Structure 1
Amino acid sequence: MARLKEFNPEERLEKAKQLFWAKGYNATSMKDIVTATKLNPGSIYGTFGGKQALFLECLKSYATEKLAAFQQGAHMPGSPLAILENMLRKGADELLKEGKGCMVLKTTLELGRKNKKAYAIASGQARDIVGIFESLLQRAQEAGEIAPEKDTRQLALHVYAGYNGLWQMDLLLNERLLIHTLLDQLIGSLKN
């Protein structure tokens, strides 16, 4: 008969997520995971399947949370362009407050396409967020907030690339005022 778990797996997953988010996949050792989760290696393997499986579960959890925030934000009432701007500013404020950047972007920069499962999570989230941006931009175009000749798909990709570029600039330069200036420029580029 299997033993009952004497810990909450979701709580331990959150601790592991915070660790991977801060250190990345390669720099995180099993010893780090044991320390952060306060679980022995056998419990980690038995519950999560080892370092890679645990990391993928953490990445999926993070990506799902952030995507849900974008989906929720997209359904707010009001001007579609103002909704998009609010989503971008709120997301930027949260990520800058956390001080760790975007876990999905950091994973993409660290692992690229080498880890196919991590890449699938990251690229899937990217497609979904670009779709949310495109939908808002189409609505903004229909409301006359964006010129009718603009390609909303290209604008959505531009916003996504620019938004992710903010986290790369934060990681490289750590200048919060610059991040807000770049965000203002990105939002302003939609209105021209």
Structure 2
Amino acid sequence: MPRNKEFDYTEKLEVVRNLFWEKGYHATSMHDIVDVMKLNRSSIYDTYGNKHDLFLKCLSNYAEFKENQYTKAASIEGRGIEVLEYIIRDVVDQTLTDNKACLIVNTIFEIGSSDDSVKQLLLNTGASLYQILEHSIGQALEDGDIKSSSQPAVISRYILTSFSAFWSHYILTQNKKEVMEMVDFLMEQIKK
């Protein structure tokens, strides 16, 4: 008869996700994982798989969190441009509050180009986030609040790639005001 798990699956996943977030995939050892999860190796392997499987589960869990964040932000009432601006500011505020880069951005730079399963997960997540942004952009174009002749897909890619630039500036300066000025500039560019 199998033994019941005596720990919360999601809670432990979030604990180790934060470890990967802090140290990165390559710098995180199985010893680190055992220490932070406070589980023995066999429980980790039986429940989550090897380090790579565990990382994919963590990344997937985080991607779901980000999709939920975007979806919730996109559900506010207002014109398309107001919704879009709210999403952008919400994402930037969350990053500055967490005081760490998006786990997805970190992962892109660390192993996104060398690990096909990670790359595919990131592409799928990106597609979901683009779709959420594109909906608001399409509405803003329809409302005449965005004058650009660029396609919503191009604008959404521009927005998502801007997030890593905001974070890199904040890492160096620790100046939230400057980052928010950059967000204001981004909104000005989108509206042109």
Same fold per superposition (TM over 0.5):
yes
Question: RMSD value over aligned CA atoms?
Answer: 1.6
CA gap 1:84/1:131 in 2 versus in 1, 3 angstroms: same
Deviations 1:57-114 (A, max 9, x none): 0000001110111122222211111111111111111111111210001000000221
Structure 1 unaligned residues grouped into runs of 5+ = none
What is the deviation of 1:119?
1.0
After superposition, what is the alpha-carbon deviation per residue over 1:107-130, rounded to whole angstroms, capped at 9, x for unaligned? 000002211111111111112111
User: Which position in structure 1 is the counterpart of 2:36?
Assistant: 36
Relative to 1, partners in 2 of residues 1:119 and 1:171: Cα closer, same or farther, differing over 3 Å?
A: farther
For residues 65 and 112 of structure 1, the distance between their equivalents in structure 2, rounded to whole angstroms, comes to 19
* Partner in structure 1 of residue 161 of structure 2: 161
1:112-191 alignment, distance < 5 Å: 112-147=112-147, 149-171=149-171, 173-191=173-191
Q: Which amino acid aligns with 2:77?
A: P
Residue in 1 that maps onto 2:23: 23
Residue 86 (structure 1) aligned with residue 77 (structure 2): no
The letter for the 1-side match of 2:75 is: H
* 1:149 Cα deviation from its structure 2 partner: 3.2
Asked whether the 8 Å contact 1:101–1:170 carries over to 2, the reply is no
Shift of 1:174: 4.2
Mean Cα deviation higher: 177-186 or 82-91: 177-186
Q: In 2, are the aligned partners of 1:95 and 1:101 still within 8 Å (CA)?
A: yes
What secondary structure does 1:78 align onto?
A: coil
Whether 2:47 is the aligned partner of 1:47: answer yes
State TM-score, norm by structure 2.
Answer: 0.92
- What's the TM-score once normalised by structure 1's chain length? 0.92
CA shift, 1:147, in A, is 1.8
Cα distance in 1 for partners of 2:26, 2:184 equals 34
The residue type paired with residue 56 of structure 1 is L
Answer whether contact 2:71 2:132 (CA < 8 A) is retained: yes
Q: Which runs of 5+ in 2 are unaligned?
A: none
Q: Which amino acid counterpart does residue 90 of structure 1 have in structure 2?
A: D
2:103 aligns to what? 103
Aligned residue pair count: 192
